[in-house]
Amino acid sequence: MTAEMKVHVLRTGTLEGDLSWFLLRKGDTFIDRYHKDDPRIWSHYPTHAVLIEHPEGRILWDTGLPRNWEEQWAPAGFNDYFPVTEDVNATTGWLDSGLASLELAPEDIDVLVLSHLHYDHVGNARMFDNGKTRIIANNNEIAGVKTIEGTVDGAHLVSEFLGLPLEGTPGDVDLVEGVHLINTPGHTWGTMSLQLDLPNDGTKIFTSDAIYLKDSYGPPIVGSPIVWDNRMWLESVHKLRGIADRTGAELIFGHDKDQIELIKTGPDEFYS
């Protein structure tokens, strides 16, 4: 029998940006000369963390956007291309306030799992460098970032994770009963997804950036320019589709602004 769990999806800020970063879709990204003056599509891309209250401890999946994003991202210029919306709810819209609304502090988290080490997923990771919380990332992600020269590579901002006590995992592991880490590389060296088998609400798969949006998932599957290895990424999408088909899982995508409004979020709602 699957372990009893209470799962909170916490909003952690919303990015703005050009849709072309997320979807390489004909007509939006690739235009012909007759449409060269058409306006770009500027949209919103929410981020989230997942708090799992499990009999074996509290687990947090990802950390979202930092409050001081302008300052923290300035060395990489992310703040110019992906500014954070000004309508973030001060009470529930940031990770620290979301945890506080549940009467939790960073040191109350036993395990932090980072789906990958991009700036919008590890923005608050240093809050958990407290000597108590284990911080886990994929082995290949940890090895990959060690090859970065300088302060930034793609969407990896080294200052956000340099020196953190990262523990490696191969992915495709059972973290605890009912909580599974899925190896879904391609977006980065070691992107992971999260599968939760819940007694009451069934299986949920949090794809992180293995699948950005519902439109990414398709069919047809639509790629993105922010992908380290396109073939591995495509294989990972097919892998997640296979798991969803076998388990009847609901996939919760990494940055889908329409889907986030339909799922349970915030301290007062939860899955179990």
Predicted confidence (pLDDT) per residue in 193-207, tens digit: 999 999 999 999 999
Kindly tell me if the per-residue pLDDT of 119 is higher than 90: yes
Measure the CA–CA gap between 22 and 25, rounded to whole angstroms.
9
Predicted confidence (pLDDT) per residue in 213-266, tens digit: 999 999 999 999 999 999 999 999 999 999 999 999 999 999 999 999 999 998
Query: 85: exposed, middle or buried (C-beta count within 10 Å: 0-12, 13-18, 19+)?
Result: middle
Which two tokens mark 239? 């892998």
CB 30 within 8 A of CB 47: no
Rounded to 10 degrees, the C-alpha dihedral 198/242/171/162 comes to -90
- Residue 181 to residues 60, 81, 145, 171, 175, Cα–Cα distance (Å): 12, 31, 20, 5, 7
Predicted confidence (pLDDT) per residue in 29-43, tens digit: 666 667 777 788 889
Give the residue among 16, 30, 35, 15 at the shortest CA–CA distance from 223.
30
Only one residue has tokens 């070691």, namely 190
pLDDT of residue 91: 58
Predicted confidence (pLDDT) per residue in 55-103, tens digit: 999 999 999 999 999 999 999 999 999 999 876 666 568 999 999 999 9
CB 120 within 8 A of CB 65: yes
Kindly tell me if the per-residue pLDDT of 26 is higher than 70: no
pLDDT of residue 33: 67
Predicted confidence (pLDDT) per residue in 148-159, tens digit: 999 999 999 999
pTM of the model: 0.95
pLDDT of residue 243: 98
Kindly tell me if the per-residue pLDDT of 135 is higher than 70: yes
